[in-house]
Amino acid sequence: MSKNAFYFFMLDWQRRQQRRGEIFNSLKDVAADPRCSEDWKNISPQEKGIYIAKAKDSKIKAQGSMSKKTTIGEDLTEVELNLKREQEFQQKMLQYIDSVVSMGLLHNNLQKLKFIFIHVNWFYKREIGINKCEFCPAEFAVAQFSLENGVENIYHEVLKMKIPLGWKRDAIETSQQTHQIPIELEDGQSDFSYMFNELTKFLESNKTGNKFPPLFTAKDLSPVVESLLIKMIDASNGSIDDFIIYSIEALFGALRNAAVQKVDDRSIPLIVAENEFSKDFLCNTRGLECDFHKILDISQYCSKSIVKRWAFTICDYCCEYLNIKLIEGVHRPKETPFLQSSDQDKKSGKGASGIDKRIKHLSITDRLKVLEMNGVSGDHRSIVSERSYGIEQRRRNECKPLDIIDHGKASTSSLDNSALNIPTRPLRTPKTMPQAFLGSQESSTSDALNPNDFPPIRGRGINYKRKTTDIKSPLGKGRGK
């Protein structure tokens, strides 16, 4: 806010009076002092011009500091700065992926390069600022992948989260529509410090110096992964700057273009790679999910299944051009029965995480106990609404027997009709006039629609000419003869 000339005069006048020993609590006391107003009126125009110049400078500075805003109150300068940072991040990501893939082609070890995939399911999303959201994680899976060996290792956890007040409904709705993980699952993992240590151990073998390898996930899931990492870091000693989240669609496009490069030049742009990767043609494949989602029969939403499907999708598009033989269970889904886990997980034991081991000791009914939005489970609702055997028998005994009346067999006699409460009417002799027309002889011989008795109503169907008479104008004003 700009200041006027009198404001700067009050500041100088206050300093002069304070040197003399007077104390003012605020500028309101200075403005209320009549001596200040009297001195302002008595100063020379030259001295007043100094304060006017200070006021102009203040106005110019205030106008320079007032930045433009967007329609939702964002600082336009900050929005442009964030957009520039996002563009720089995207450019840096593409440069990193291209450099890694190019080095793999140069040294002929593209199929041996290892990448880290991560997927996170969530309960609810809460806005914490303009265009900033915080996600409550429900499940995550981290996988180590290479074109040569497929998915080599997986770290998977189902979480037990304390839902804050006011967000339980959103959490239940999201759970029922997607992953169906119950809120506050008893056997879920809630120690974020433990999960952070397990994650760092998982990434330790792929470190480059002191830096963790980039985490590749779907473009839309980057904020969700960041929220999970922040919760882990807050519970332990770490920094969010140690982790980098890149787009798996960009990695898919770069690997596919590099693989095809050995055959012919049929590279695809990033937008086409994103479209192809998002099709998820293996979404209905069974046998890739964790034990929890295997019981619930919703494998398409399981994080463990999703990271495996990402790996199989990349192998399906790349291995053929790199002369890598597609091995069942490694580069493509293994055809196994629905309720049997893959042989690879049984032999290695790497596919089963802590929640998978603990979930085996639970019964199916315990896993399916998901509360509705009103806090009542489906089992309880079905129990209290069903009729017991005793209630059903008592209801049948209290019912009165039905009296069935066959009207087709009922006679027309007055006795039977009175018993059946059927109204009776004497029958008219054939070829006789109805009693309604048996009035006067005139009515029987005359036309029922006599125009004298029923004149036309003069509606739209009758041409009616109105008789008009000429009205003579009164004499005077030049109209008389």
DSSP annotation of 454 reads S
Helix (H, G, I), strand (E, B) or coil at 363: coil
C-alpha 73/C-alpha 79 separation (Å) is 11
C-alpha 85/C-alpha 113 separation (Å) is 29
Q: What is the dihedral of CA 78, 79, 84, 88, to 10 degrees?
A: 100
Burial (0-12, 13-18, 19+ Cβ within 10 Å), 113: middle
216: nearest Cα among 286, 146, 162 = 146
Q: How many helices (H) and strands (E) does the chain have?
A: 19, 5
Helix 303-318 and helix 248-261: axis angle, to 10°?
20
244: nearest Cα among 219, 273, 277, 222 = 222
C-alpha 151/C-alpha 16 separation (Å) is 79
Residues 6+ positions from 4 with CB-CB distance below 8 Å: 55
**Three-state secondary structure of 138-202:** EEEEEEEEECCCEEEEEEEEEECCCCCCCCHHHHHHHHHHCCCCCCCCCCCECCHHHHHHHHHHH
Residue found by looking up tokens 């029965």 in the block: 337
Helix (H, G, I), strand (E, B) or coil at 332: strand
Q: Are 36 and 57 in contact (CB under 8 A)?
A: no
Domains along the chain?
A: 5-65 (no CATH), 78-322 (3.30.420.10)
DSSP annotation of 109 reads -
Instruction: Give the count of beta carbons closer than 10 Å to the beta carbon of residue 7.
Output: 15
Give the strand order in the sheet containing 215-217. Answer: 150-158, 132-146, 115-129, 215-217, 245-247
pLDDT in tens, 447-469: 555 666 666 666 555 555 555 55
Which tokens go with 416?
């039977």
H-only helix segments in 222-360? 222-234, 248-261, 270-277, 291-296, 303-318, 343-348, 354-359
pLDDT in tens, 230-285: 999 988 877 888 899 999 999 999 999 998 887 777 788 889 888 989 888 888 88
C-alpha 136/C-alpha 124 separation (Å) is 6
333: nearest Cα among 298, 353, 309, 350 = 309
Beta bridge partners of residue 245, listed in sequence order: 215
Half-sphere exposure of 75 (CA within 13 A, CB side): 8
Which parts of the chain sit beneath pLDDT 70?
1-2, 62-67, 72-73, 130, 336-387, 389, 408-425, 435-481
> In angstroms, how far is CA 230 from the centroid of its own chain?
22
Residue found by looking up tokens 């994680």 in the block: 137
H-only helix segments in 287-388? 291-296, 303-318, 343-348, 354-359, 364-367, 378-385
Q: Are 123 and 138 in contact (CB under 8 A)?
A: yes
| pTM reported for the whole predicted model | 0.60
